[in-house]
Amino acid sequence: MVTHYPLPVTTATTPPTGPRRRVRSWVWAVASVLVAGVAFVFAVRTALGQRIDQALFDTSRSVAPASEVPTILDYHVVSNPSLWIGAAAAVVVLSQIRWGPQRGRSTAGRAGVAAVLLLFPPVVALVARVLRDDVLVRPQLHDWIPETINSAPSGHAAAATAFVVALILATPTRVRPMVALIAGSWLVVIEFGVIAAGWHRPSDVVISTILVAGVGALLPDPHRGEVGTMPFTRVLTGVGIVIAGPVIVAMYYPELWPVTTTVGIATVAAVMLAVLLPGAGTQPVRVASEDLPDAMVLPGVGDHGMDRASVS
C-alpha cells in the first residue's frame, strides 16, 4: 500500500472569491468614484481648494530637473507606441502563466480576461478625455490663476494608471507585489512629471489615479483561485511605493516642494494599487496529493487523521 500525504493546509492565502469578492469590488469601486468626486469638488469648485492646488502646481513646475530624466521615466513615454505594444505583450504572456498547484482559470478563460485587460487603458483614456473636455467645468474663483480651463482628470495619468492596473492583474499572484512595487513607483514618477511639465495640477493626477484604480478593482483576474501571498505584503508594497517614488523624483528634482508633492501622489497610488494585491482574507489552501513531490509519498504508513489517497 502506498499512502499519499498532502500538505493539509498551506500558509498562503487566496483573495475572496464568488459573491463576496464581487460585492467588495463594487463597494470599493463606488467608494473610489465618490472620493474622486469629493476631491474634484474641493480642489476645483472651492476657493481654498484652488488656492492649495495652484500653489503646489506652481512650486512643482517652477523647478527644472537637475539632470536629464531617462526616457522610461519621462511622461512623454505614455504616448510612445512602443510602451503600449510592450505592455500588451506583457499582459498576454503574464496572464497565461500558471503558478502553483491550483490552476485557476482555463486557458480560454485567461485569454478572455487578457482581452478585457488590454481594452482597459484605451477605454480609460477616452473616458478621461470626455470627462475633462465635455462634462466637468472649472469655475474661475481667483483672478490671479491664469489657467481657467478644466484639466481634470489627466489623460496621461489615467492612461498610465490603467496600464499599471492591467499589468498588475495580469501578473501571477505570488510575484504580483514585486510588479506592483516597480510599476507603482514608475506611475508616481510619471504623474509628477506631468505636473512638473506644467500640463496638469496635482489634483488632476490624484483624481485620475483614484478613479482608474478604483474602477480597475472590477476587472477580472486571470489568476483567480491561485495561491496568493500573505496579507502584510499589501502594506509592504504600499510603503515601498511611498518611499521609492519620491526618492526617484528627488534624484532629478532635489527640492522640498516637488518631493512633498510626490509623497502625496505616492500615498494615493499606494493605497489604490495595494487593493489589487491578493491576501484580503486568509483562506487556507489545500494541495492535492498528486502535486506533492515523491519525497512526500510514504509507503506503508497508517492513517493519522490526514487526507490520503491509497494505492494497493
- pLDDT tens-digit readout, 83-137: 999 999 999 999 988 765 555 667 778 889 999 999 999 999 999 999 999 999 9
SS3 117: helix
Q: What is the 3-state secondary structure (H, E, C) of 2-15?
A: EEECCCCCCCCCCC
Q: Is the pLDDT of residue 202 over 90?
A: yes
CA dist 220 and 199 (Å) reads 33
Handedness of CA 266, 267, 272, 275 (dihedral sign): positive
Q: What is the pLDDT of residue 108?
A: 78
Radius of gyration over every alpha carbon of the chain, rounded to an integer in angstroms: 23
What are the respective helix, strand and coil percentages of the chain, to the nearest 5?
A: 65, 5, 35
Q: Is the pLDDT of residue 186 over 70?
A: yes
Reply yes or no on whether the pLDDT at 200 is more than 90: yes
pLDDT, tens only, 131-182:
999 999 999 999 999 888 999 999 999 999 999 999 999 999 889 999 999 9
Q: What is the pLDDT of residue 308?
A: 39
299 sits in which H/E element: strand 297-299
Q: 295 vs 40, which has greater pLDDT?
A: 40
CA pair distance 77, 95, nearest whole angstrom: 24
Helix axes 256-274, 176-196, angle to 10 degrees: 140
**Every domain of the chain and the residues it spans:** 17-280
For the entire predicted model, the pTM comes to 0.83
Residue 303, pLDDT > 60, answer no
Q: Report the pLDDT value the prediction gives residue 113, as an integer from 0 to 100.
A: 93
Residue 297 has pLDDT above 80, yes or no: no
Report the pLDDT averaged over residues 245-251.
Answer: 97
**Residues 47-65, mean pLDDT to the nearest whole number:** 95
Is the pLDDT at 34 greater than 70? The verdict is: yes
CA angle at 228 for the pair 270 and 20, rounded to the nearest 5°: 80
Tell me the residue type at 170.
A
Residue 147 has a pLDDT of 87
Average pLDDT, rounded, for the chain: 85
Task: Note the pLDDT of residue 183.
Answer: 98
Check if the beta carbon of residue 44 is closer than 8 Å to that of residue 307: no
Q: How far, in Å, CA of 88 to CA of 295, rounded?
A: 41
> Looking at residue 135, what DSSP letter applies?
I
Give CA torsion, residues 135, 136, 141, 147, to 10 deg. -90
Give the residue with greater pLDDT, 219 vs 12: 219
Burial of residue 178, with CB atoms counted within 10 A of its CB: 0-12 exposed, 13-18 middle, 19 or more buried: middle
Q: Which residue has the cell 472649472?
A: 138
Band of pLDDT at residue 278, cut at 50, 70 and 90: confident
**What CATH number should be reported for the domain whose range is 17-280?**
1.20.144
**Cβ within 8 Å of residue 280, ≥6 positions away:** 15, 16, 24, 231
Alpha-carbon gap, residue 222 to 242, rounded angstroms: 27
Cα 252 to the center of its chain, rounded Å: 24
User: Angle at CA 182, nearest 5°, toward 225 and 110?
Assistant: 30
Strand partners of residue 309: 4
- What's the pLDDT score for residue 20? 83
Q: What is the pLDDT of residue 139?
A: 95
Q: What is the rounded CA–CA span in Å between residue 219 and residue 2?
A: 44
